[in-house]
Amino acid sequence: MDLDLHETRKVVLRNTTQPRWVDRFRRIDFVFLTVGIASVLMSHGVRESEVYHRPWELPVIIVVSMLWLTLSLSLRYRWSLAKPTFFARHRWRVGVSALWVFSLVLVVIFGPALPEWTSSSVSRWDGMVAVSQIAILLRGATAFLIWLRTAAAGDFNPAFLLVGSFIGLVSVGTLLLMLPRARVRPPVGPAQGAPFVTALFTATSASCVTGLIVEDTPTYWSREGQLVILGLFQIGGLGIMTFGAFFGLIAGRNIGLKEHATLSDLLDSEGLGNVRQLLGAILAFTLAMEIVGAISLSGLWSDQPLGERVFLSLFHSVSSFCNAGFALTENSFVGMAHLWQVGGVLALLIIVGGLGFAVLFDVARFTQHQVQGRRKAVGLLHERPLVRLTLTTKIVLTSTIILLLGGTATFLLLERHSSDGMSESLSIADAWFQSVTFRTAGFNTVDLGQLQPASKLLGILLMFIGASPGSTGGGVKTIAFSIAVLGLLSVVRGRRHIECFGRTLPDILMHRALAVMFLSLMLIMVTTALLVFYEDQPEYFLDYMFEATSAVGTVGVSSTIEGNDGAMVSVTQSLSTPSRLLIILAMFLGRVGPLTLLLAIAGQASPARYQYPEERVTLG
């Protein structure tokens, strides 16, 4: 009897003390993981030279940090009260640690033979440090994605979560771009990192898929820096929360109800049932489009070595699909609109990326149903369930076609009546490409500073409208603009409600569309006024409005003005430090959306339980 009581006390004591130690280990793991990631960044941020060598402490810290994370995982399994489900709950952590241990064994065994296979001398210790660095970064990435999934499944406001995730992405990108290794080494002197404002501007522009630059991307940033920029606009274009959901799908976990609701808000999905399908379709479609686009663009750099050709093709393919507008060419794609890779492939990637994932998923579902129905139908014996395009898809496709064709024709018409001979160089291909890129991306095939003022105003309008909801582009979105136009038509026709494609739209949609357009317009006006004030050059008012709209719409095109030395430079590169900080804020607000930011600050609003009496006012 006493023995049973003693055993029971031991079990109770173990069940109460072990969770405390597990919680302590989690905190210690966070410290080691943070220190390890910082050591990896520092070790890669410095360059070896005659006057400076990498500190030997950093590799030791990296290996020790990964060793602790692995031992801590073993102890947590030893003390776990739910051992049968431990590996299922920690499969990514266990997988990274197992891969690290396996790699260490290979390095220890085959370490002496590595110099025979490579052109440089590689020791066992160098190999251990290299695999430990990779493992630390993988652990950090998985920890961040797990936190995102936990936050999405919690009580966080989706708008607040979206804003916070972009702030984190910009912060990480800024730190990476400030490392000396991210910048091209000067011909004389030691390597230096980018200034804080330059790194912050570039990280914000890449994360918000804008494309405005204060330094030339191919000449200022090293290959490591260009890879950081590529990663930023790939993650920023698809959305950080989407990557967290991808992680959940790959891990084989089910998406919870609250996470469904969060992703539905962020992806503009109509309902909770198709979120999982939409996420899988986004991942597969994005990878397919970017790979096919890279293969199609490879002919532009046929004179380059294979490695350089692959990187340039992939960089511009991802930049186009994400509507980022970053280019590694000398002057974007000026004079190259006649090439099918530019006027065809690049334009197609930009258009598809700007349609929105929900629209693409709906079109693919409708097309698949039509193809399968034709194959299975035999006379009138088979009745198929009716599958239609949603109203959102119809509005997006219709407005996109009208804007593309109308923009092309209007650009040609405006430039044909120019008085400086610009029309001789503006071809149909140039007008088409600018009509495409003005709404979403930041590429250009003509010198935008030489456009007529009327053409710049047209560009401002297209940038203000932007892409479609749930896409990689910015602007007030085609849906909001279309609803405003439909509302105007309903007033002219004397209708009380907005009607489109045989459907009546709720009045709340008009209110939200007008709110988004008003906030975006006010943001553009304030940004333009402050740019004119800071730069004190009112003669370039239209160019500064062009720049402000490009930043708020996350487009990335920039006009050219005369610099202090008499040479023509882009407006972005001519800006002073206060103006650059202003453009940074405008790009961020334009990406997350003014209305989204207000919702994030205000939180979930509760509907009023009362209504005041109606009274008409005079409009005019």
Domain ranges for the chain, please list them: 1-153
Whether the per-residue pLDDT at 373 is higher than 50: the answer is: yes
Burial, 334: exposed, middle or buried (Cβ in 10 Å; 0-12, 13-18, 19+)? middle
Residue type, 364: A
Highest mean pLDDT out of 81-90, 97-106, 143-152, 363-372: 97-106
Cβ contact 400:441 at 8 Å: no
Banded model confidence at residue 68, pLDDT cuts 50, 70, 90: confident
Given a cut of 60, whether residue 146 has pLDDT beyond it is yes
Three-state SS for 153-216 is HCCCCHHHHHHHHHHHHHHHHHHHHCCHHHECCCCCCCCCCCCHHHHHHHHHHHHCCCCCCCCC
Among 12-21, 35-44, 554-563, 584-593, which stretch is predicted with the lowest mean pLDDT? 12-21
> Percent of the chain beyond pLDDT 70?
75
**pLDDT at residue 462, rounded to an integer:** 93
Task: Output the pLDDT for position 408.
Answer: 93
In which region does residue 537 sit, left (phi positive, over 0), alpha (psi from -120 to 50) or beta (all else)?
Answer: beta
pLDDT on residue 432: 93
Indicate the average pLDDT of the chain.
Answer: 78
Query: 280 or 351: which carries more pLDDT confidence?
Result: 351
Residue 161 structure tokens: 């979560």
Q: Compare 332 and 22 and report the one with higher pLDDT.
A: 332
Q: Is the pLDDT of residue 452 over 70?
A: yes
Confidence grade of residue 117 (pLDDT, cut at 50, 70, 90): very low
pLDDT of 184 higher than 60? yes
pTM of the predicted structure, to 2 decimals = 0.79
81 pLDDT more than 70? no
Q: How confident is the model at residue 276 (pLDDT cuts 50, 70, 90)?
A: low
Distance CA 137, CA 33 (A): 9
Chain mean position to CA 369: 31
| Dihedral angle computed from the Cα positions of residues 404, 407, 413 and 418, in that order, rounded to the nearest 10 degrees | -130
Which of 65-74, 240-249, 415-424, 582-591 tops mean pLDDT?
582-591
* 616 DSSP β-pair partners: none
pLDDT at 520 over 50: yes
What is the mean predicted confidence (pLDDT) over 277-285? 72
Tell me how far apart the alpha carbons of residues 17 and 207 are, in angstroms, rounded to a whole number.
44
| Rounded Cα distance, 443 and 297, in Å | 15
